[in-house]
Amino acid sequence: MGASLCFWFLYFSLYWPYRDLFNEEGRYFDESTSAVYHAQSSLLLVPALAFLVLAAGLGAAWRMRRQVGRGVAH
């Protein structure tokens, strides 16, 4: 879950504020910070979603295993 939160933070700090400002080459130069942002930063969403799904799957598996260990069946 922590890795997913890190990638969500990177996605929303490196891509989201600049998504409409990229030029035809997929770059945006921020003059106030002298930083160049790339449109490829949107790919940070992929690992964010992957780690979120992994965390949800592991949480569900842990919960099911815990219920089976207690003898609770639904």
pLDDT tens profile 4-18: 888 888 878 777 877
Give this prediction's pTM. Answer: 0.56
Q: Which of 1-5, 23-27, 29-33 has the lowest mean pLDDT?
A: 1-5
* Listed residue (23, 60, 52, 49) closest to 38, CA to CA: 23
Burial (CB count <10 Å: 0-12, 13-18, 19+), residue 32:
exposed
- How confident is the model at residue 72, as a pLDDT? 60
Flag whether pLDDT at 54 surpasses 80.
yes
45-70 and 2-14 helices cross at what angle (nearest 10)? Answer: 160
Average pLDDT for 61-72:
82
